[in-house]
Structure 1
């Protein structure tokens, strides 16, 4: 049976008539929920808003759901004279306002400036699992491929008007949290729970929701939640990566069922692979985590496609993903889109192209 897949996306809110972010998250979300039947949420910062899709078996339906939810959230933003921006870091200012919430206030008290200045927009892909045990088996086996998903989603080259030299600077900022990034092998659901509880007991996390591994068991749904990706400028890229992520989960679940052991890749090597994916996206070489060697990015993407191709074919997604990857290879990720816009018209042009692309 084909697994379901759903997506959560986080966005920036930008003032229409001035080059600043807009602290309108609570009002935009309230308006979106009032006007539609979609699922929208406030984020840590008032300059953000989040949407979530329903779980889908069909990637075409997921794509349509994402487009509809983006359009609804953008319409709610316009009602507040605000624009919706699919960028994983802010190309404008970094002025942020924490959403009024007791938990968020506790996070500020605990983590200080790290929390006060945290403004990052990711894409979280939820893939259904049969049990927590299967989920942990998947987590242990997808670790080495997650940096490829990051590279394909890279969409945060600018921060506060300056080029960071990274394709995904969001992942650099997000990596400052003590529970973020690559995790060691868990081995079992008991091992996962011990690791989770140790982080909470140690004070590195206030609660389960702050377990920010690159991939984790969802605290709310019976899913593996892949959290490593930037929010994509182009909704078609989001659908492509979601299909690829589902196929990866399905492939690794099958490997676990067949008794194939999880690769014993050291976490520091995975972090090195993620750093390189963040630095250059798919524009330079990536780390083949099976060998530790640098290989052309698209060669590694091709290896991932070949690995999961049976699962893609089983779900009817092989041609969709093949064409989606070809599109990213030809015109680049959101990072290239932003830099090309900047070259033609500075940060104002970056904002304009992102606003247009967000609901295209």
Structure 2
């Protein structure tokens, strides 16, 4: 593996070069959140109960409620193979979209509502969500945003927090690649990911701190509980966290991706970052102690510019074109991508984003043609169920 990587002119990752350790084969699962809207107006519609009620069979249990009644969440199976993950995600999207269409609605992968989400949203029936609304007051206004969460199988909590530390400098790059929420309340916000700005209202929604140990992680969670900043462990909204219900490290950085192809790209990069970090941890390589203030600044920059501007290189402290940071990320994880067989898929997906633009850029292009929100809605509906090029019908 190392020889093949070097033949491409890339420098092997130090843990691979020095220790020749096998890249760990990590499992992955994906949660995607979607909006339901009126295809004629682009306005969100609280039809989640009706839509979910139309779904039959085993897949019904994997389409679950979210915070609001105009959202639906899908949960993939656990996978090791990218193609199978993509097939699973596409089936979930198509089943949910079919149920939505039968209800006169459109299912869209979009980080924010184009229209109709001003004020307190219509909440799902869960008493927990209503308790959250009472406790956190106006923070709930305009919420109902949609993200994509990638779970990487990891049951050693001590190792998981160290993996989180190693991945921190690269998390804003993942956001920049997946930006998909430029429009909210019928306005172009000027941000490629307005969802990132909205979720930042929650007191625990921030990049993961640098954890000195799992004990340190737990002490911070306890402090959040004691302050009332979270009501339960499910409200630990760090952008990387240890899952409270499955044995995984959960990456919560991204907007819901516009297409399955982009979701698969995200999952591949997250898994490669985690695998590379595992090698570092096991080789005794220390994680860079990136300052939390600068990490937040890098997320702000990624949310503002996406792939159409600049990002903050947290390892050098300089502002550079976003695509340069992507190249550095690929250099960082290339051995892991090669070992898992994912490099070709990742390269093709990145070439596609370069060619057609990010999800945010495509929304803006659709809106710019006539200044007509239904044009954006139609684009989102079509993209949500589009098959990746390699398996297009």
TM over 0.5: yes
* Bigger Rg, which one: 2
Q: Identify the match of residue 76 of structure 1 among 99, 120, 140.
A: 99
Is 1:351 equivalent to 2:377 in the alignment?
yes
Is 1:113 equivalent to 2:138 in the alignment?
yes
Aligned to 1:302: 327
Distance 1:198 1:261 in 2: 26
Aligned to 2:35: 12
Distance 1:242 1:18 in 2: 32
Q: Identify the match of residue 89 of structure 2 among 39, 58, 66.
A: 66
Is 1:89 equivalent to 2:115 in the alignment?
no
The one-character-per-residue Cα deviations of 1:219-251 (angstroms, maximum 9, x if unpaired) are 111111000100011110110111011000010
1:34, CA displacement in angstroms?
A: 5.0
Aligned to 1:163: 188
Is 1:197 equivalent to 2:222 in the alignment?
yes
SS class of match (2:125): coil
Q: Residue 44 of structure 2 contacts residue 114 of structure 2 at CA under 8 Å; is this kept in 1?
A: no
1:29, CA displacement in angstroms?
A: 2.2
Q: Identify the match of residue 100 of structure 1 among 109, 125, 131.
A: 125
The one-character-per-residue Cα deviations of 1:190-230 (angstroms, maximum 9, x if unpaired) are 11111111111110000000000011011111111000100
Aligned to 1:341: 366
Aligned to 2:281: 256
SS class of match (1:195): helix
Q: Residue 89 of structure 1 contacts residue 169 of structure 1 at CA under 8 Å; is this kept in 2?
A: yes
1:129, CA displacement in angstroms?
A: 1.3
The one-character-per-residue Cα deviations of 1:17-48 (angstroms, maximum 9, x if unpaired) are 54421111122223225573561110110011
Aligned residues: 360
The one-character-per-residue Cα deviations of 1:153-193 (angstroms, maximum 9, x if unpaired) are 00000001100000000000011100001132111111111
Q: Identify the match of residue 254 of structure 2 among 223, 229, 242.
A: 229
Distance 1:30 1:331 in 2: 36
Aligned to 2:72: 49
1:15, CA displacement in angstroms?
A: 2.3
Is 1:293 equivalent to 2:326 in the alignment?
no
Distance 2:224 2:148 in 1: 23
Is 1:141 equivalent to 2:166 in the alignment?
yes
Q: Residue 89 of structure 1 contacts residue 159 of structure 1 at CA under 8 Å; is this kept in 2?
A: yes
1:328, CA displacement in angstroms?
A: 1.0
Q: Residue 113 of structure 2 contacts residue 185 of structure 2 at CA under 8 Å; is this kept in 1?
A: yes
Q: 1:33 to 1:132 in 2, by over 3 A?
A: farther
Q: 1:205 to 1:174 in 2, by over 3 A?
A: same
Q: Residue 200 of structure 1 contacts residue 206 of structure 1 at CA under 8 Å; is this kept in 2?
A: yes
Aligned to 2:150: 125
Q: Residue 38 of structure 1 contacts residue 69 of structure 1 at CA under 8 Å; is this kept in 2?
A: no
1:325, CA displacement in angstroms?
A: 1.0
Q: Identify the match of residue 331 of structure 1 among 336, 356, 359.
A: 356
1:16, CA displacement in angstroms?
A: 4.2
Distance 2:355 2:207 in 1: 30
Aligned to 2:20: none
Q: Residue 33 of structure 1 contacts residue 40 of structure 1 at CA under 8 Å; is this kept in 2?
A: no
Distance 2:58 2:141 in 1: 31
Is 1:153 equivalent to 2:167 in the alignment?
no
Q: 1:41 to 1:136 in 2, by over 3 A?
A: same
Under a length normalisation based on structure 1, what TM-score does the superposition of the two structures give?
0.97
Is 1:220 equivalent to 2:245 in the alignment?
yes
Distance 1:19 1:351 in 2: 5
5+ unaligned residues in a row in structure 2: which ranges?
Answer: 1-23, 387-393
More moved, 163-172 vs 98-107? 98-107
